[in-house]
C-alpha cells in the first residue's frame, strides 16, 4: 500500500491491518517514507487513536525495526519503566535489588524529558560510566553483574528514534497509542520476560489527572500483554518529590546511601518494594507480594544489592570502589544554601513540576536537546507534604553554580511550596492495573 493511502485510511478512522503498519514502519526505518508522511501519520493517530490490535501491531513493527535481543541466562529477564517525575531515582536501587534476588535486568533508560529527570543523566554523574555501550558489553554486564542500566542503542528499535523525533516537533507527543508503542517497542527489543510499569500521577508528573494516568497505564498493560510480554502497572503518587532531592549527582548520592542502608525514605522504600514485588511474583521467584517484599528487603539489608550495583558501575567503566568513595567521586556545586518559606507552618501542597523547572534553571536539565548538563546542581533535603517548615527547617538546600542561578532557583522553590496551618496528605501507590 502507498504510504499516503495508509495515512488517508487512518485519517478517515479506518482500522489498520498489521501488515500495513509493518510496511509503513519499514519505510520509516529505511527512509522510503518521508518525514512529511510520518508527521501526517502521527497526526492522524493523534486525532483518531488506535485499537488495541492496531497498537500491538505498531509496537511489534517498531520492535522488529532493529535487533531483538535473545538471552540465555539462569534466571528471569525483567525490567521496570517509569513515566517520569521529580526525585525518581528508583531504577538505581531497584535494578540491583532485583539482581540480588536472582533476576537479570537489562534496563534501557532515557534522558531527561521536559521538567523530569532522566536516569542516564544521573548515571553520567559517575566518572567513566558508559551509558551508551555496544550490545556485546551490554550483554556481558547484564550476565556478570545481574543488571545493566544503559541508553537506547542504534540497534534497538531505530524506528522509534525517528518517529519520536518527528512527534517532538509536530505536537503529537501526547498521543497514548504512540507513547505506548514508543515505550514498549524498546522493552520488547530488550528481550524481556516480565515488565512492571510505574505510571506517575500528580503535580510533578506528565499525567496530572487520575483518569489520564489510568488511560496510559491500561494502554501500556493491554498492548504489552497483547504483544506477549507479561506486564502489570502501578499508578504512583507524584504530588511531591519522591526522593528528598532532585538533580543528577544528588540523586546518585541518595541512591548510594539507600543501597548502603544509611537512609530509608518511607515513600521511596514503599514504591521500590511494590514495583519489585510485582516482578518477583510475575516470574515465580516469590509466591506472593508479602514474601517478595521480604526477599527484596533482605537483598538490601544484607548488602547484596549494593554489591550488584558496584559490579555494574565498574563493568561499565566507573570506579571499582564507587560505593565506598562516591562522595569524593561525585562533583559538588560551589554554592549550597538553604531556602526558607516566607511563613512558618506545614507543607500542605507542592507544585512539584516547578521543582523540576528549578533544576533546569540551575543547569541540571535541558532547555534544548543540545544543552550540556551541570551534574553538580540541584535541590537536596526537600520537604515533603505534611513536613513542618520553620526557621530551623528550610524548604530545601539549593546547589548552584553561581549566585545568580541560586537566586532564580530559590524564588521558584518558594513559589512551588504552599505552607499553611494544616499538613498535606502523602501517598504512594494509588492503583494497580493488571489488564
* Separation of CA 114 from chain center: 13
Confirm whether 414 is a catalytic residue: no
CA–CA distance, 150 with 134 (Å, rounded to integer): 10
Q: Give residues with Cβ within 8 angstroms of 119, minimum separation 6.
A: 89, 91, 92, 107, 109, 110, 149
Catalytic one among 182, 219, 231, 283? 182
Beta strands per DSSP E along 23-155: 78-82, 105-109, 147-151
Q: Are 389 and 344 a contacting pair, CB within 8 Å?
A: yes
Does residue 200 carry a catalytic annotation? no
Active site residue 426: no
What is each CA distance from 366 to 87, 324, 334, 350, 361, in whole angstroms? 16, 30, 20, 22, 9
Q: Which member of 29, 59, 65, 82 is catalytic? A: 82
CA 310 distance to own-chain centroid: 21
Cell of 272: 521500590
Is 81 part of the annotated catalytic residue set?
A: yes
Active-site entry in 186, 254, 308, 329: 186
What whole-number distance in Å separates Cα of residue 292 and Cα of residue 100?
A: 12
Q: What are the start-end ranges of the E strands in 292-344? A: 335-339
In angstroms, the CA 144 to CA 52 distance is: 37
Whole-angstrom CA distances from 289 to 282, 294, 357 are: 10, 9, 36
**Closest residue by Cα to residue 173 from 84, 91, 233:** 84
Question: Which member of 64, 79, 121, 160 is catalytic?
Answer: 79
- Sheet strand arrangement including 231-237: 78-82, 194-201, 231-237, 429-433
Residue 109 known to be catalytic: no
Query: Is 182 a residue of the active site?
Result: yes
Report the alpha-carbon distance of residue 274 to residue 98 in Å, rounded: 12
Catalytic residue among 187, 254, 376, 399: 187
Question: Which of 137, 131, 135 shows the shortest CA–CA distance to 151?
Answer: 131
Q: 33 by DSSP, 3-state: which? A: coil
Distance CA 276, CA 293 (A): 7
- Is 52 a known active-site residue? no
The C-alpha atoms of residue 331 and residue 311 are separated, in whole angstroms, by: 21
Which entry of 10, 22, 63, 81 is annotated as an active-site residue? 81
Positions marked active-site: 79-82, 119, 167, 182, 186-187
Amino acid at each position: 500500500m502507498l504510504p499516503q493511502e495508509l495515512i488517508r485510511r487512518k485519517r478517515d478512522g479506518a482500522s489498520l491491518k498489521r501488515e500495513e503498519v509493518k510496511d509503513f514502519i519499514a519505510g520509516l526505518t529505511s527512509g522510503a517514507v518521508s518525514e512529511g508522511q510520518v508527521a501526517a501519520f502521527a497526526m492522524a493517530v493523534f486525532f483518531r487513536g488506535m485499537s488495541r490490535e492496531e497498537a500491538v501491531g505498531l509496537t511489534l513493527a517498531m520492535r522488529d525495526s532493529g535487533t531483538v535481543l535473545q538471552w540465555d541466562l539462569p534466571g528471569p529477564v525483567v525490567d521496570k519503566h517509569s513515566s517520569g517525575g521529580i526525585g525518581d531515582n528508583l531504577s538505581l536501587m531497584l535494578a540491583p535489588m532485583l539482581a540480588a534476588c536472582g533476576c537479570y535486568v537489562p534496563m534501557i533508560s532515557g534522558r531527561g524529558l521536559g521538567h523530569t529527570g532522566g536516569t542516564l543523566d544521573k548515571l553520567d554523574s559517575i566518572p567513566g560510566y558508559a551509558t551508551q555501550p555496544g550490545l556485546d558489553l551490554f550483554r556481558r554486564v547484564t550476565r556478570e553483574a545481574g543488571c545493566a542500566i544503559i541508553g537506547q542503542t542504534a540497534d534497538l528499535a531505530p524506528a522509534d528514534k525517528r518517529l519520536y523525533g518527528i512527534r517532538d516537533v509536530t505536537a503529537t507527543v501526547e498521543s497514548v497509542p504512540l507513547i505506548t508503542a514508543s515505550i514498549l517497542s524498546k522493552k520488547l527489543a530488550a528481550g524481556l520476560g516480565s515488565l512492571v510499569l510505574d505510571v506517575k500521577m500528580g503535580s510533578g508528573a506528565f499525567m496530572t489527572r487520575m483518569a489520564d494516568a489510568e488511560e496510559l497505564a491500561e494502554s501500556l498493560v493491554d498492548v504489552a500483554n497483547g504483544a506477549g510480554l507479561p506486564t502489570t502497572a502501578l499508578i504512583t503518587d507524584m504530588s511531591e518529590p519522591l526522593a528528598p532531592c532532585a538533580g543528577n549527582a544528588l540523586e546518585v548520592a541518595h541512591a548510594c546511601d539507600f543501597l548502603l542502608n544509611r537512609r530509608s525514605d518511607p515513600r521511596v522504600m514503599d514504591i521500590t518494594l511494590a514495583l519489585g514485588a510485582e516482578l518477583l511474583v510475575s516470574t515465580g521467584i516469590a509466591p506472593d507480594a508479602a514474601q517478595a517484599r521480604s526477599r527484596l528487603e533482605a537483598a538490601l539489608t544484607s548488602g547484596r544489592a549494593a554489591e550488584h550495583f558496584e559490579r555494574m558501575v565498574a563493568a561499565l567503566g566507573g570506579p571499582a570502589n564507587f560505593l565506598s568513595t562516591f562522595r569524593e567521586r561525585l562533583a559538588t556545586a560551589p554554592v549550597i544554601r538553604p531556602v526558607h518559606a516566607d511563613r512558618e507552618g506545614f507543607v500542605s501542597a507542592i507544585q512539584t513540576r516547578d521543582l523540576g523547572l528549578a533544576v533546569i534553571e540551575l543547569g541540571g536539565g535541558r532547555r534544548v536537546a543540545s544543552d550540556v548538563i551541570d551534574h553538580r546542581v540541584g535541590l537536596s533535603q526537600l520537604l515533603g507534604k505534611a513536613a513542618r517548615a520553620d526557621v530551623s527547617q528550610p524548604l530545601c538546600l539549593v546547589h548552584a553554580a553561581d549566585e545568580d542561578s541560586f537566586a532564580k532557583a530559590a524564588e521558584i522553590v518558594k513559589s512551588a511550596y504552599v505552607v499553611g496551618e494544616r499538613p498535606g496528605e502523602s501517598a504512594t501507590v494509588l492503583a494497580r492495573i493488571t489488564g
